[in-house]
Structure 1
Amino acid sequence: MTITPEHSNHGNPAVGGLLATDVGPRLFAIGAYLGETVRHNLGGVWETDDEDPYGEMNIALRLPDGSIVWPVQRVIKRFRNGPEDSIVGYATGLGLRLALPNRRRTWFRRN
């Protein structure tokens, strides 16, 4: 799921959109998915402070080079601020190579 205008408008869930209910858990899930994608591709370990009342928002991913990223916070920023806080830009800035959508296979090709 991506956060698109059909789902939010600068921090306001769209009526009938996927974020119209349970916005907190859904943003956390998207952030966790983003973090796991980063961890799978670049390595790293999750870090959190169990004493932090906002631990779910402040969960961090320490990358092998020692840098720390906060994917859940990034997803929340995207939800609040809109497209200028692009998730794709964030991922590519971290060094992920994003795959292009699969092209439909055809049996006959034009030259």
Structure 2
Amino acid sequence: MKTGGLVIPKTNRKVLVDRLNLITALHRASILASKKFKASRFVLTDNWFRIETTNDKNEESHEELTIKLNGTLELGLNVDYLMDALSGCTTEEARLALSEQN
């Protein structure tokens, strides 16, 4: 479905994760993220949320959290944007609706 030039995904994958643990892992990943982009690769499988970060000096960070998800999903996100969004929530767990770019 197209709306005003935006493509809205037909389906989203719902991920349930401990919000504070995710914020902490994102903060650690952001330390090594490229200063210019602050992007990390997110690999989600049935029970694991893996955050992979590499910077210009080829330094790497890998963080893993347990999650509830059926299937797998891979995407790249700006770590700071996701931390900001999660910091505004007050619930113990965060429910993320994510989709891969086609």
State TM-score, norm by structure 2: 0.33
State TM-score, norm by structure 1: 0.31
